Chain A
Amino acid sequence: MSYILTFPNTHAAIIAEKKLLQSGYPVGVMPMPTTIQSGCGIALRVEDYYSSHELLKKNNILVEAVYEVSANNQGTVYRKLSL
């Protein structure tokens, strides 16, 4: 999965995972990468950040930021996208 969503608090991350799973969206859990200074300690990995974000927005679940995940020879790189 190539995008991660961050949340303002753990509660939002928990209900976001639940909502995405219920709606059949591919979603994975990961601890917040140490290189990201955003939100709570839990991030969600998603395939399609746009539709995932839309779904959460419709359900009043606040997403703090979206990052694109890629890899270079130094390791994994997270690039913040503008929502």
Chain B
Amino acid sequence: MTYIDAVGQACPIPVIRAKKALEALGEAGGVVTVLVDSDISRQNLEKLAQSLGYQSEYLSKENGTIEVTIVAGEGCAVTGGDAADKESPDDDSGLVVAIGRDTMGEGSQELGRILLKGFIFALKELAPAPKAILFFNSGATLTSSDSNSLEDLRSLEAAGTAILTCGTCTNYYGITEKLAVGEITNMYGIVTAMAGAKKLINI
């Protein structure tokens, strides 16, 4: 078992260290345990495990730290490349939508805002559902509790779309605690999702 003490280390360091440790396990598989002190790091580690097809679990300790254990099964080693590059199943559209603003198009702000809400609704009609929707800069306000697109985003999430919001951005706008759908990600998560996309729509 590999034990990583990542207390006090900001995202994405714990994730990078865990990924390296998982790669080092090779074909034999094994267990990597990471000690972190933020729930966002915990979520990102679980996402890492999920993207690699591994099981994970966590234990919240009394001192506020969280111990995340990732179990890498035998014979499903992480080999070099990112898991996001792996062959996608047939029902995977490979479509990633990047929303870096709270309006659609140039011109009137209020028109742009209502157009973007309509756009998010229309994304629901796509089959198969998009692989991921990335929210950053003012786009990050669309996943917060004040957004009027939550119902649509939740049904996209239920259809298998990963709803990922930039943590730097929610922090900047002071809305991290108001995240109402999906998960917080970091720039590595955004880059990985974009690079792994078969098609990328950039709003």
Stretch at the interface among A27-35, A54-62, A63-71: A27-35
- Judge whether B148 and A27 touch: CB under 8 Å: yes
Stretch at the interface among B1-9, B27-35, B50-58, B111-119: B111-119
- Selected contact of B152 from candidates A14, A21, A27, A28, CB within 8 Å: A28
Given contacts A17-B148, A21-B148, contact A28 B121 (CB under 8 A): yes
Given contacts A17-B148, A21-B148, contact A30 B118 (CB under 8 A): yes
CB distance from A53 to the nearest CB of B (A): 19
- Chain B residue at smallest Cβ distance from A13: B114
CA distance A13 to B111 in the complex (A): 10
Is the C-beta of A42 less than 8 angstroms from some C-beta in chain B?
yes
Chain B residues near A41 (CB, 8 Å)? 118
Interface of B is mostly: helix
9 intermolecular pairs with C-beta atoms under 8 Å apart: A10-B114, A14-B111, A14-B114, A17-B114, A17-B148, A28-B149, A29-B148, A31-B122, A42-B114
Is the C-beta of B62 less than 8 angstroms from some C-beta in chain A?
no
Is the C-beta of B151 less than 8 angstroms from some C-beta in chain A?
yes
Q: How many residues of B contact A (CB 8 A)?
A: 13
Chain A residues near B115 (CB, 8 Å)? 42
- Judge whether B148 and A42 touch: CB under 8 Å: no
CB distance from A40 to the nearest CB of B (A): 10
Chain A residues near B122 (CB, 8 Å)? 30-31
Chain B positions 89-141 with a Cβ under 8 Å from a chain A Cβ: 110-111, 114-115, 117-119, 121-122
CA distance A27 to B149 in the complex (A): 10
17 further interface pairs, Cβ-Cβ under 8 Å (given A28-B148, A28-B149, A28-B151): A10-B111, A10-B114, A13-B114, A14-B110, A17-B114, A27-B148, A28-B117, A29-B117, A29-B118, A29-B121, A29-B148, A30-B121, A31-B118, A31-B122, A41-B118, A42-B114, A42-B118
CB distance from B38 to the nearest CB of A (A): 33
Chain A positions 13-51 with a Cβ under 8 Å from a chain B Cβ: 13-14, 17, 21, 27-31, 41-42
Chain A residues near B118 (CB, 8 Å)? 29-31, 41-42
- Selected contact of B121 from candidates A10, A27, A31, CB within 8 Å: A31
CA distance A1 to B117 in the complex (A): 15
- Chain A residue at smallest Cβ distance from B148: A21
